[in-house]
Amino acid sequence: MPLRCEDDTVHFEDTCAVEEALTLTEHLREHPGARADLSRCTYLHTSLAQVLLAMKPEIAALPGEPFMARWLNPLLETPPDSPGDGLVKVRS
Amino acid sequence: VPLTRLVHAGEDLLGIIRAGDAELTSEMVDQLLESLDHVSEWIEHLSGQGELPAGVVEESQKGVARLRALCPGGKKDGAEAGEAAADAKLDLEWLQSVPEDDLITAFSRAITGRPVTAIRYTPATGCFYNGEDPFNLFRQVPELLTLHTRRQEPWGNAEAFDPYVCNLTFHALSSASRSGEPQHGFRYVLEQTAFARMKPEDLICVQGSKTSGADMSKFRSAARHSIGRNDFKSLRAAAGLLLQDLPADIWEASALRWLAAVLDAPLPNPLWAAALAESAATRLPPDWAAATALLASLHAGASAGKTAVSPLLLHILREQERILALPAADEEQAHRRLVAVTAAAMNLARSSGRTDLLEVLAAVQAEEAGEAGQLAGILAGWRIAAEAAQSAAASAAPEAQSGGHPAEMAARKMLKVDQAKVDMLMNLIGELVVWKNSLPFLAKRAEEVFGVREMAREIKDQYTVIDRLSQEMQGSIMQVRMLPVSEVFERFPRLVRDLSRKLGKNIVLDVEGEDTAADKTIIECLGDPLIHIVRNSIDHGVETPEARQAAGKPEAAVIKLRAAQEADQIVIEVSDDGKGIDPQRIKAAAIAKGVIDAEQAERLSDQEAVNLIFHAGFSTAAEVSDLSGRGVGMDVVNSTVDKLGGQVNVTSQTGQGTTVRLSLPLSMAVTRVMMVEACGSLYGIPMDAVAETVRVPAGRITRIKQAETFVLRDTVVPLVRMSALLRLPETGGDDGGDKAVMVCRVSGTVFGVVVDCFREGTDVILKPLDGVLSGLRGFSGSALLGDGRVLLVLNLKELL
């Protein structure tokens, strides 16, 4: 399983495909404080990236793969649009 | 509506190409031609049946989609054209949030002549279900310069968030150098993407806080001074120094960094430099219009003459850039091209007095294996600077431009005239020419019958004047009817292209002398024979690229279409460098088809064998036996050209190619005939059939079996008697005196015709025999003579 959901951390490993998007969403909904560790991720499907951008979990480690490091990291560090446009965190 | 939509799509594509935003590719041409075919088909249908054929809507939509897909930056539908402006704004707006470093990188690529393409990709919301992965599509974009991701709609409530609805939109820049390359990765999602070629100045985007209040006024005046003197080195140094003192995140620093990027180009663009220097001081986005005016005023005082850039220079620069950008077949070709372009650029620099450039170019040249990119950069910089200077000069002296374009203004005065009217006029002039010939008769009568010698001379004087005038009139009415052969030639590029694509052969069409003019009738009749010939050349003559390579010929065959005027004939040659005609195979086919027998074949020379292809009935033989020999339709060619009074020649060398040569009269209106008297009446013989006239003593005529012959300059010439040809009773009888012999040449054979006596040559208007006479063989037609008699003009070919 490329996506390993522990209670406080979600580990992204190797190729993370579109099927995991719902799992990730549910997990983040249930564990609002969970962090994302992308250090060992080599391929992240757009849908997963979108979940990260929308739900803004705390990023424990950024991906090291060059393409993502170049084009995704800036987004994860500072979300794409103006601050505060993430999801309304109902339960936090 | 489906029709116009398709036409508009085509127009848009052509517009983009003309604007230079896209390179014309073979694919585009195919698509455009196909659309054109569709449209003409539909129009035909529409005019014939009053409605469009079924399925036209789908066909049109498909065509539109394909054309749009080829449009770089193309919109999905013409209806979206209004959106284009908004799109451009959107593009600029997102650039604001792209890191400045990325933009500067993109900019420096753009000013060195690399195309920078902006990509906007808004995936469909359901795209994840189609297995699409938008973000990672960009992994395939070559030379990705920046990728900007943003959401389409606000994210909304966490509970309602659906991870399978794509809510992202992407903007990217790529400097992939080959056109179509950035688009390649998006070929399955073209409807959701838009591409636009970015102009370098569009990338300039100054960012940063505007609240620092740094004092830029000193820099501003220094910059103006430097730009006015084209002293970019010191401006660059000043900008570099100032940058060190300014905090990196303020507006001024950003503007200066951009200024530095502009100045780092091999040839800085003064317009951009001026705009950025101003922007640094005013803390407003760069204003190109204001900068143009500023630049013009700066230059106006300094060197008014120098700023005038000839459009030719610009044109040459663009052309050289284009050559550089062409894909090269191999290393060597690329290198040769580079050397050539460098040399051309050096010449340009020399002629425009740019010694600074000359040094740079010399350095490139010295490097031997100079890099194309470097040279392209220099050229692009030069062109951009020249363009800027030109626009500056234009705005400095608008009045100079306002009177311009005299060539375009002076629209040609054209008159559209019904062809029948011209024909009528020509007939009248023809009559005049003929009737003018009656004046000498009149003069003769005045002298002989009425005995007024004085009067006769006066009539003759007047005759010369009328003769000259009528000749001129005749000449100019001919000119009216003359059409250039380009009327016929212009359909060949398409034909050759289509056929060569279909047959997988590589063919270059070389057209020469297309402005050679000939009479309308001739030109109109030429079309079909030429198509036959060219098609034969492509089909049978030109080998496949593999076969050509094996034979040691260049892969691309050349078909030459050449028209020229030779005396009063128009000569059209179609030659190819294909495999030629094999006389042996022609002979074999001719024997098989029963055109000739084996014994005859033995005696035929190669050239005669080649001529067999004109034989009626031979065409099918070649086709059925699947021989490579030309033959399809060649007898049609022959008969058409014959009807026009022309000739066809084929020369062929096995392995070297074939040349088909058509020679036709320039004009058919007036025919020159030789008048002869035979059997008590007057006959005309077309002058082009007459080789010479001789008087032969009866004693020199020898009889070989049934046929009479005589020897003319060591050649045996067969003799026929006119009376025998016309089946009329002999009048003169064999009185043993000299015989008047007209030596004629008809389709290559020479023979003598014995006539009673020769009369003068004259111009006549040949009227074909019609009505009950039309069935008569042996006559080309009749003509009216100056004294009112009717002259029958013989067709020797038919008589023999």
Is the pLDDT at B628 greater than 50? The verdict is no
Type of residue numbered B475: G
Is the pLDDT at B113 greater than 50? The verdict is yes
How many Å is the Cα radius of gyration of chain B? 38
**What integer is the mean pLDDT of B153-170?**
78
Contact A15, A48 (CB under 8 A): no
How many CB pairs below 8 Å do chains A and B form together? 83
Is the pLDDT at B404 greater than 70? The verdict is no
**pLDDT for B754:** 84
CA distance B773 to B781: 10
**pLDDT for B413:** 67
CB atoms within 10 A of CB B728: 14
Q: Of A47, A27, A46, nearest to B164 (Cα)? A: A47
- Burial annotation B464-474 (CB, 10 A radius, 16+ → b, else e): eeeeeebeebb
Is the pLDDT at A52 greater than 80? The verdict is yes
**pLDDT for B356:** 62
* Average pLDDT of chain B, as a whole number: 74
Within B88-157, strands assigned E span 116-121, 144-151
Contacts of A25 in chain B (CB under 8 A): 161, 163
Is the pLDDT at B778 greater than 50? The verdict is yes
Mutation site for A-interface testing, chosen from B94, B121, B133 by largest number of A Cβ within 10 Å: B133
Contact B221, B178 (CB under 8 A): no
* Of A70-74, B135-139, B179-183, B590-594, minimum mean pLDDT range: B179-183
CA distance B627 to B618: 11
**pLDDT for B81:** 38
CA distance B290 to A81: 33
Helix (H, G, I), strand (E, B) or coil at B749: strand
Interface touch B155/A51, C-beta < 8 Å: no
List pLDDT tens digits, range B553-586.
888 888 888 888 776 678 888 888 887 777 777 7
CA distance B73 to B91: 12
CA distance B214 to B226: 21
Contacts of B123 in chain A (CB under 8 A): 46
Where does residue B166 rank: exposed (0-12), middle (13-18), buried (19+ CB within 10 A)? buried
**pLDDT for B330:** 61
Interface of chain A toward chain B, CB-CB under 8 angstroms: 18, 21-22, 24-25, 29, 43-51, 53-55, 67, 70-72, 74-75, 80-81, 85-91
From the CA of B164, how many Å to the nearest CA of chain A?
7
Is the pLDDT at B368 greater than 60? The verdict is no
CA distance B282 to B260: 17
Where does residue B697 rank: exposed (0-12), middle (13-18), buried (19+ CB within 10 A)? exposed
**What integer is the mean pLDDT of A45-60?**
83
Is the pLDDT at B8 greater than 80? The verdict is no
List all residues 6 or more positions away from B311 whose beta carbon is below 8 Å from its beta carbon. B390
**What integer is the mean pLDDT of B78-96?**
49
Is the pLDDT at A91 greater than 50? The verdict is no
Among A25, A71, A88, the residue with its CB nearest the CB of B163 is A25
List all residues 6 or more positions away from B775 whose beta carbon is below 8 Å from its beta carbon. none
Interface touch A87/B138, C-beta < 8 Å: no
CB atoms within 10 A of CB B450: 10
List pLDDT tens digits, range B701-759.
777 777 788 888 888 888 888 877 777 776 655 566 777 888 888 767 888 888 888 88
**What integer is the mean pLDDT of B230-235?**
76
List all residues 6 or more positions away from B705 whose beta carbon is below 8 Å from its beta carbon. none
Q: Of B584, B538, B585, B528, nearest to B560 (Cα)? A: B538
Interface touch A49/B150, C-beta < 8 Å: no
What percent of chain B shows pLDDT beyond 70?
75
CA distance B618 to A30: 89
Give rounded-to-5 percent helix, strand, coil for chain B: 55, 20, 30
From the CA of B281, how many Å to the nearest CA of chain A?
29
CB atoms within 10 A of CB B488: 24
Helix (H, G, I), strand (E, B) or coil at B512: strand
**pLDDT for B89:** 45
List all residues 6 or more positions away from B199 whose beta carbon is below 8 Å from its beta carbon. B110
From the CA of A52, how many Å to the nearest CA of chain B?
10
List pLDDT tens digits, range B508-522.
888 888 888 888 778
Where does residue B502 rank: exposed (0-12), middle (13-18), buried (19+ CB within 10 A)? exposed
- Touching check for B161 and chain A: CB below 8 Å? yes
From the CA of A13, how many Å to the nearest CA of chain B?
17
Is the pLDDT at A1 greater than 50? The verdict is yes
H/E element, B315: helix B311-325
What percent of chain B shows pLDDT beyond 90?
0
Helix (H, G, I), strand (E, B) or coil at A6: coil
- Higher-pLDDT residue of B157, B121: B121
CB atoms within 10 A of CB B297: 15
Contact B717, B709 (CB under 8 A): yes
Contacts of A21 in chain B (CB under 8 A): 128, 163-164
Nearest CA in chain A to B156: A87
- Touching check for B155 and chain A: CB below 8 Å? yes
**pLDDT for B74:** 41
Is the pLDDT at B73 greater than 60? The verdict is no
Separation in Å, CA B597 to CA B525, B534, B581, B630, B747: 34, 30, 20, 20, 22
Q: Of B155, B67, B74, B80, nearest to B120 (Cα)? A: B74
Interface touch B136/A45, C-beta < 8 Å: yes
Helix (H, G, I), strand (E, B) or coil at B324: helix
**pLDDT for B398:** 44
- Burial annotation B782-793 (CB, 10 A radius, 16+ → b, else e): bbbbbeeeebbb
Contact B433, B470 (CB under 8 A): yes
Look up tokens 């998006």; give the residue: B186
Helix (H, G, I), strand (E, B) or coil at A66: helix
List pLDDT tens digits, range B418-471.
878 887 887 788 778 777 877 888 888 888 888 888 888 888 888 888 888 888
Separation in Å, CA B150 to CA B71, B143, B158, B343: 25, 21, 18, 48
Mutation site for B-interface testing, chosen from A28, A29, A51, A71 by largest number of B Cβ within 10 Å: A71
Mutation site for A-interface testing, chosen from B161, B165, B170 by largest number of A Cβ within 10 Å: B161
Helix (H, G, I), strand (E, B) or coil at B114: coil
Q: Helix B288-302 vs helix B372-396: angle between axes, to the nearest 10 degrees?
A: 80
List pLDDT tens digits, range B528-548.
788 878 877 787 777 888 888
Q: pLDDT confidence of B395, banded at 50, 70, 90?
A: low
**What integer is the mean pLDDT of B134-159?**
78
CA terminus-to-terminus distance, chain A: 28
Look up tokens 């950069």; give the residue: B377
Ordered strands of the A3-5 beta sheet: A3-5, A9-16, A35-44, A58-61
**What integer is the mean pLDDT of B89-110?**
73
List all residues 6 or more positions away from A65 whose beta carbon is below 8 Å from its beta carbon. A41, A42, A43
**pLDDT for B341:** 73
- Touching check for B134 and chain A: CB below 8 Å? yes
Give rounded-to-5 percent helix, strand, coil for chain A: 35, 30, 35
Q: pLDDT confidence of B359, banded at 50, 70, 90?
A: low
How many Å is the Cα radius of gyration of chain A? 12
- Touching check for B135 and chain A: CB below 8 Å? yes
List pLDDT tens digits, range B177-232.
665 666 777 777 777 787 777 777 777 777 777 776 667 777 778 877 777 777 77
Within B397-437, residue ranges assigned H as helices are 398-402, 406-409, 419-436
Query: What is the ipTM, given to two decimal places?
Result: 0.83
**pLDDT for B577:** 84
**pLDDT for B269:** 73
Contact B430, B669 (CB under 8 A): yes
β-pair partners for B511: B561
CA distance B4 to B63: 12
Structure tokens at B478: 């001919």
